Every structure is written in structure tokens, then in C-alpha cells.
Structure 1
Amino acid sequence: MGVHSSTDERDALLRDHLRDLSHLPLLSDGEELAAAATMADGRAAENDLAAMGGRPAINLADASDLIERVRRGEEARERLIGSTRRLVVSLARRHPCEVDVTRAMLTAGDEAIGRAADRYDPTGGLPFSSFARWWVERALREVDRHPARGMESAPTPADPALLTALGHLHRADTRVIELRLGLHGGPPLSGGDTARVLGIDADEEHEREEIAVAKLRHPCTPGDLTHLRSLSPRSPAPVT
């Protein structure tokens, strides 16, 4: 009886949380990319505005334009985050646990989306919802592994530099890394299993993997990932 009661409470919590999000509009992939571009422009304007403060004379028209760009960037960030919050509920359903832990997961997941938004770069073409999923998954798993700690504060995703860098790659590049490192919501896969999921042979999988890792290790990729090596089938995690 206790188990059923706990499950019912958890289901009710998830339903109520989802209902509270019903007013937030969903964005298409293209709208996510546009919102992220507006966010990036707002950050650039914020930097320009800060630099303007050190000038002896300020052009009020220029300052007003920068302030408006910052405002639009902040609004775009809120739209991007709001449109993705339903993802937290969807992923939290996959972690059977007590209602208090589920509540902590929802909080941690929402905060993870905010961190993802601040690290997202739309130039690679990867939709924000796909990028944010990695951050949310890690936040939920951390709460699942350490419920007490998760209810005290938001967890930090594992290897945030890697997750940030993946946002700069195209979908075809991220898919191999996603499967090999378990960023797709399941366990890390071997090279052979990854090839089977993608419907390609082992040689092609290895080639795609090498290309993706090379891009991640490129000096132009944000974050220090020069330590990253090719992912051996016997070792599906990056060497750190």
C-alpha cells in the first residue's frame, strides 16, 4: 500500500508540474537557434555596454540600442529555457524514486537547463533541446545517486567542458560521441554497438568517431579538451 501511495504521489507531482508548464510555448529547432542567436547578441551588447562605461563621454543613442539588445537577449534566454522545461519532467519519469527525490530532480533539472543555456552556441546547428538534454540527464543521475546532496543543492554535470564543446558540433558529429559516452540517456556503448545503432559498419563508425574527437580537440573548440583521446571499444569514456 505504501509503495502504491508513494507512486501515486510522484505521478501527481509530475502531472502538476507539467500542468504548470502548459502556458510556456514550445519552440521549433529553427526557433531555438534564432533565440540562441538573439541571446548571443545580447551578451555581446552587454559586454559593449560595460566597456562603454569607461569612456569619458557616452553616446546615449548607442547606449539605448545596447540596452535594448540586452533586453531582447534576456527575453530570448527565458523563452529558450521555458520551452525546454517539459524535457525535465519527461526525463524524471525514467527515474523511479520517492516523491521528495523526484521534486529535487525537477529543481536540479530546471537549473541544469539554465546552465546549458549559458553555454549553448547555435553555430553548430544542434538544437538547444538536444544540447540541454545532456545537462539535464547528468543532473538527474547525480540526484538519483546522491539524493540527500541533490536535495540540498543543484549538482554540477560531469565534464561540463565536454558538454559545452559538443554544442559547437553538427548533429552527425555529436551522435557518435553521444552514443559512445552514454549521453543519449542510456549506458555508454562500445564502438561495435554504436555502429549497429547507426546502421553502419565498424570502419565507418571508427572514422566518424575519429573525426568527431579531432573536432573536439581542436584549439578553436571552447574548453580545454586537448586531453581527449579516441574512444577505445574497451573503454567507452574519455581519458581525463
Structure 2
Amino acid sequence: MAETLIHPSAIIEPGAEIGQGVRIGPFCIVGPQVRLAAGVELKSHVVIAGDTSVGEDTVIYPFASIGHDPQDLKFKGEHTRLEIGARNRIREYVTMQPGTEGGGGLTQVGDDGLFMASCHVAHDCRIGNHVVLVNSVAVAGHCVVEDEVIVGGLSGIHQFVRIGRGAMIGALSMVTADVIPHGLVQGPRAHLDGLNLVGLKRRGTSRAEIAELREVLARLHDGAFRDTARELSSMDRGAMVGEVLDFILGPSDRSFLKPA
């Protein structure tokens, strides 16, 4: 079993749970309700507060601020949580914050993510597995970012927005409405610009499936997304098309990004 190593300058408050093989570097501060699973590494100058759990083998780099009070004026100090999954890479100056009572009280981050320098994950967000947030991405409160999403640098995600699995957001985009699964989005006031073909090909999606997705996307362009999706959902469809239609017909108060 790997040895647990804690630098003498680190502060581990009574009550914190430290797993086997955890490595805590210089000048880190770990709060009394924090749980670090086996193999977690805090490089240095990392501060983790609140009711926060960090999954196995996650590495957190210097000056990250994890689990402090959400930036929400409605927050009154109620007990809320932040759960971070396994094998994440959380780079310098990243901030992740717990939930609020009005948003369900929980912020969740999945497994195998890469959160590059200066990213922000706000209160009550649900971030999936294998998500990449490039430098200085800001995800506002109550957002859902599904598995295998990539968000380009300096992009902003508006509160309550959902981003479907496998979507790609180009750099410097402002995303103000929901993004369909496998969509490609870009622009200062972002618009839907087709499918994330690179991501689909990397995942081994067949030509037939891509062609079916393209045909459905063309149909969606012709009218209201939800009305068209209801019509298409009654027809025979492949699994990936079904995923897109189910996402469109899922619960949301926001509209959808459409072509420019």
C-alpha cells in the first residue's frame, strides 16, 4: 500500500478523512469535513473547505480553491455539499463550489475530467465524466454538462444551461441556451454550427450513424426544436439519434442554440 505523505507545513483540521496513499504538499489547508480518497494528491497551496469529497487518484494543483461558499447572494450558510469523482486533474487557480438550498444542495463533478487553469464550476452544477474545461472557462450555477464534453478556453456557460454528451464548444463562446448532444457550437454569442464530427469519429461512430444524425439536424433546423423532435421520436431511430431527441424533450426552461 502506498504511504500517506503530509508536508509539515500543511494544515489538516481535526475531522478530515485522509485515505491511503494521499500526498499533501506544502502549505495546503484541508477543512474538518473534507474527505480525500486513496491516492489523492494536493500539490501545494491547495485549500479545500466545506463538506467536500474528492475521489481516488485525483490531483489538484497549486492555488486551487475547492469547496468554499458559493457565489450566490441567496446562500445563507446552509449545509450543502461538493462531490468530486476519481482521476480528475484540477489545475492551478481552479474554483469549484458546493450547492445551495435552492438548487438541491449538491454540486457534482464526475470522473476523469481535466479542468485547466482558472476554470470555475459554480454551485449546483452537474459535470459528467471525461469532461474537459480549457483555461478560464466559467460554468455558472445550475448547469448540466454531460459526459465527454469539451469547452474551449475563455468560454462562458449561462446558468441553467444543459450541454449534451459529446458536444464541443469553441473557444471564446458565450453559451446562453441548451446544446444538443454531439453539437458543435462557436461564436461570441454562440450558435449551433453542425455536429462535433471530430469527437464522433474519435469514439468510433459509424458513417451511417453520422449520416442519420446529420439528417435529423437538418430537420431540426426547419422548425421549432421540440415540435420537430416530437415528430421524429415516433419514427424508427438509432441510439444516437434517440439520445439527441430525448435530450431535446427533456426537462429544461431554456431554448436551444440554433444555426446562425
Q: Does TM-score exceed 0.5, indicating one fold?
A: no
**Higher relative contact order at CA 8 Å, sep ≥6: structure 1 or structure 2?**
1
> Smaller-chain TM-score range?
0.3 to 0.5
Q: Which one has a larger percent helix, Structure 1 or Structure 2?
A: 1
TM-score (structure 1 length as normaliser): 0.34
Q: Which one has a larger percent strand, Structure 1 or Structure 2?
A: 2
